[in-house]
Amino acid sequence: MDKNAKIYVAGHRGMVGSAIYRKLQKEGYTNLCAATSKELDLKDKVAVDRFFEKEQPEYVFLAAAKVGGILANNNFPADFLYDNLMIQNNVIEASFRNDVKKLLFLGSSCIYPKFAPQPIHEESLLTSPLEPTNEAYAIAKIAGVKLCQAYFKQHNRHFISVMPTNLYGYGDNYHPQNSHVLPALLRRFHEAKEQDLDEVVIWGSGTPLREFMFADDLGAACLFLMLHYDQPDIVNVGTGEEVSILDLAHTIAEAVGFKGRIGFDKTKPDGTPRKLMDSERLHKLGFRHQVNLKEGIRITYQDFLEKIASYSLVK
């Protein structure tokens, strides 16, 4: 991929898209194009077609998506299914018709079955039922994977798909109802410190194991795969490392400076006991993450502090 090649990052203001954009800039790619959701509604096929015809990108990173936590996914399944289908269909089809050399589609680990064997291998896709609470989002992402594979098979278009693990980092979502576990805990420990509370109580037993990756490591992995991977088979992107929710809570408390106790409400559900991605396919290609969890949380907390006002985190 030439440093002057025209590259379009769809969703460049989101946590993942911005990480990809930063990595491209850092590596000296100078001909980047992007558009905000106000400038370009990716659900609008005519607008997307017009954008591609004007910009003529040679490479596309498709990181745009409608995202949300369990509550949002469960309450608005039609929105999550329709919006994501429209976004990815329009961008992938426009990439095909405008002769994009290569496209990288960002999926999600939620595409895998609820009870997939651990660690989750790429071949687990469509082997058993999905997690019901985010089924609509997962189905849309699976359709995106299959569409990329169909263009690869039928038209020999180099459209590849990447499935990241749980992410956190710059520009994360800290909404009290719609955020994921790591940013949610970071906000709770910060507020407990600010209010001088003695204890933070967390749902469940603290024993479930989870995998987390700093979003900028995913950005680096996406560029690596764009440069070095050219197969229709999906690729998991994770660290290969897991941490208990209890240990995660202690790490966040230390980063925030919370000195109180950590309690657990064992009447609340734990969720899946373990969720770890098998990232051997990626590791064998030669890519490994660089930011460990402790350092990543420290960086993320500093970003949180700098953006409290603009994120309206106190609401």
**Among candidate residues 24, 46, 282, the one with its CA nearest the CA of residue 162:** 282
Residue 6, classified by CB atoms within 10 Å of its CB into exposed (0-12), middle (13-18) or buried (19+), is middle
Task: Determine contact, residues 271/245, Cβ cutoff 8 Å.
Answer: no
| Secondary structure E strands in 50-138 | 59-62, 102-106
Residue 107 marked in a binding site: yes
Residue 270 marked in a binding site: yes
Residue 267 marked in a binding site: no
Hey, is 295 helix, strand or coil? Answer: helix
Residue 205 marked in a binding site: no
Residue 198 marked in a binding site: no
Would residue 82 show up in a list of annotated catalytic residues for this protein? no
Residue 106 marked in a binding site: yes
Residue 167 marked in a binding site: yes
Task: Determine contact, residues 279/288, Cβ cutoff 8 Å.
Answer: no
Residue 113 marked in a binding site: no
Residue 129 marked in a binding site: no
> Nearest 5°: CA angle at 134, between 310 and 171?
20
Residue burial 37-75, b: 16+ Cβ < 10 Å; e: rest: eeebebbeeeebeebbeeeebbbbbbbbbbbbbeebbee
The span from the CA of 39 to the CA of 58, in Å, is 21
Residue 91 marked in a binding site: no
Which residue in the list 21, 29, 112, 137 is annotated as catalytic? 137
Residue 16 marked in a binding site: yes
- The annotation places the binding site for substrate at 188, 203, 210, 270
- The annotation places the binding site for NADP(+) at 11-17, 106-109, 141, 164-167, 180
- The annotation places the binding site at 11-17, 106-109, 141, 164-167, 180, 188, 203, 210, 270
Question: What are the catalytic residues?
Answer: 137
